[in-house]
Amino acid sequence: MRNKLFVAALVLAVSLPATCLATMVDASLIPDGTYGVTVEKVLDSAHVTVAMVGGLEATLTAGSGVHFDQVKPTAHIKITVLKGKVLAFTQ
């Protein structure tokens, strides 16, 4: 019985989409730099949730002068992060 349960759990875990297995990280823990990301959700003009390489997920805050109004979910964008805030992005 245990083996059947283990196999069923393993099959379920392997069949889940990668986005379900993402690990949410605090934006302040992201090292300063430029990253390619995929937009998962635009919360408002100043906040966006993104998926990063390696299965990391983060909700980022826009820095001064940055607005996410024109960003669409599933868009691939390049962001520049400094101290947990997005200073610039390109689509």
pLDDT in tens, the chain (91 residues): 545 544 444 444 545 554 455 789 999 999 999 999 999 999 999 999 999 988 899 999 999 999 999 999 999 999 999 999 999 999 8
Give the pLDDT score at 42.
Answer: 96
Q: Does the residue 27 lie in any domain?
A: yes
Q: Does the residue 41 lie in any domain?
A: yes
Buried b (16+ CB within 10 A) or exposed e, 56-68: bbbebbbbeebeb
Q: Does the residue 80 lie in any domain?
A: yes
Q: Does the residue 9 lie in any domain?
A: no
Model-wide pTM > 0.75: no
Give the pLDDT score at 12.
Answer: 47
When divided into structural domains, the chain yields a total of 1
Q: Does the residue 15 lie in any domain?
A: no
Q: Does the residue 60 lie in any domain?
A: yes
Q: How many residues does the chain have?
A: 91
Domain containing 79 — which CATH number?
2.40.50.90
Supply the range of the domain harboring residue 78: 21-90
Assign 25 to helix, strand or coil: strand
Q: Does the residue 7 lie in any domain?
A: no
Q: Does the residue 11 lie in any domain?
A: no
